[in-house]
Amino acid sequence: MVGGGCNGVETIGYLADRIGNEGKKFGLCNRGPRLLPHFPVAASQAAEDSLRRMGVNIYLNTEYSEKTKKDLKYDHVIDCAGFRFKAPKEFLQGEMADCLDSKTG
* Tens digits of residue pLDDT in 37-72: 989 999 999 999 999 999 999 999 998 888 888 888
Give domain status of residue 105, yes or no: no
Q: Which residues neighbour 13 within 8 Å (Cβ) at sequence distance 6 or greater?
A: 47, 50, 51, 54, 56
Give domain status of residue 79, yes or no: yes
As a whole number, the mean pLDDT across the chain is 83
What is the pLDDT confidence band of residue 15, given thresholds at 50, 70 and 90? very high
Instruction: Look up the CATH number of the domain holding residue 17.
Output: 3.50.50
Range of weakest confidence among 52-56, 78-82, 96-100? 96-100
Give domain status of residue 63, yes or no: yes
Give domain status of residue 90, yes or no: yes
77 vs 12, residue with greater confidence: 12
Give domain status of residue 50, yes or no: yes
The pLDDT score that the predictor gives to residue 63 is 86
Give domain status of residue 1, yes or no: no
Number of domains in the chain: 1
pTM: 0.73
| Residue ranges making up the domain that contains 94 | 6-99
For 19-87, what is the HEC assignment?
HHHHCCCEEEECCCCCCCCCCCHHHHHHHHHHHHHCCEEEECCCCCCHHHHHHHCCCCCCECCCCCCCC
